[in-house]
Structure 1
């Protein structure tokens, strides 16, 4: 069992880290209403994040889950804001992956080329206000009409909605079929009948603009359906497997950067005539931050490896790693604020922003409670 990364893996990650640090780090805190700019998106595309695991035939990197996660981790450590790498991960994993594996034909191929290059930005339109974690309760419908489907319904919390050029949307095509009654579609933004609402004001991840998206009599060619009719549930679960395994890697990177800043602070800060790092209450808290980070990293790498190997236990492993990484990010965020003292509550230190960004991790891509249900089912419960 080899725990070391290859020279090639180190090199790819360092290239992303350098580019993102030089171009995106240190930008001032942004307003919750400010989505990712196209210039910022261009940096992520130049770093290869917009097409990392998309096929080389469409201009992607052709990488597997582990190598994709390593790039997201590098971006998470180099960017002082969590929004940009989160936006790239949502675009790539929740949208690019299902289009890659279930899309057919020239129209989907053209969309994938644009997504891989960064010319097109994608948003995942799955969640609904009332359905929430119960994806089988979605109310959006898609009725077949000749060579088209007519989509009607409103989606909530659509990441990248404000700037998205294409949406991956899920809708009910057969209300009587349950899990087999949902279908998935790639819907270009210019399709008549799409309305994007105002940006939702979130606690964190500000550069990743989210909004509600309404489809009203929206005609989508059958050629843009992903998978067979009724396969939408399977498409969604497949994409969630990738998202749950890879996306939390941005929090691994953020925790590494956060820990570096905490160590520098406690070494330099003096109270009662001593560096505060000399107090056991401080040093042990730092030790716990490192323990959480390293344990979470091993679980995430293993989940991605299992996904790359096509192993059946990959879904449970992804759930285990996701809940571990994201809850570690929240716990480490709280510790970082506490160890900075009053300055940790100030925007200028960045400690409070890392914490706010971390809060979304336990909610997105399936809440921690959903992940525990998956883990429990894996134990036969």
Structure 2
């Protein structure tokens, strides 16, 4: 049931046609809040970032999941005059305004919105990351300015709560696990037979995700191939150079570009395990995504991976940044009978309990 103090909620953040986990989260949260009885709407973007700051494709033709209405798309990074006006309208129309914070680059327009809201509605900064994995020198100052202006902050782990409190001691910061918001796709089909001898690295390729560590590990394990599927943030040239240096270019396939949900079953079916060699992480969906498609997951012991992966049962955990340990885990995974045993232990996550707690954390404080 809705909180007696909060009945009308406005979510500000990316939504379809924007792609990626942030947009998927905004849409799913809106659906869940409405199902819980809250009058919910989304305030999204007509233009979110300058192209120079996000070189990849920003939008999709078809949504990866059910689109949410009503969704307004009037905010634009190049129209600061509109930030205050939309904030004023939101302050009049909502009891709670939730700002979905994916990057400090969103802080200037969010400060404009907050000025327009002017205290007429409660405000919540929903921080996917308090600070970026690859941060710039002005990021802490921007986030500090935002967290000081909102009434409440919601983060996805105790570690992130501590990070927020280091920026603004005394801020009202709560933590709730990030619930599953996976792309809609057909269920994974069971697969019998021998292992394929191929691993999968999936998602946007950025330095903190440790693809270079995985390639160094792969060079130590003859006979195993790898598919790298996702958008390459800095282009494929550095990766191709490392492949040539390691002598494994013939074993690694690079699929540069965003993959819609309809393509994921085929991609995951062509691998024995998903590998997530992240140097750092907060709350990632990718381990759950691998399990959704029936794959064991080999991952670094960072972020929420230790909570999502049962080490030695439905996957393996290794220290971050350690190519030798990762190579050892890959060898262990491919011992006779292990791929089949771990695959049989994989269970898709049940999103319901996660979302029930999360909706309460967002709406009730």
Report the TM-score range of the alignment, normalised by the length of the smaller protein: under 0.3
Tell me the TM-score normalised to structure 1 length: 0.25
Tell me the TM-score normalised to structure 2 length: 0.25
Where relative contact order (Cα < 8 A, 6+ residues apart) is larger, the structure is 1
Task: Return the structure number with greater helix share.
Answer: 1
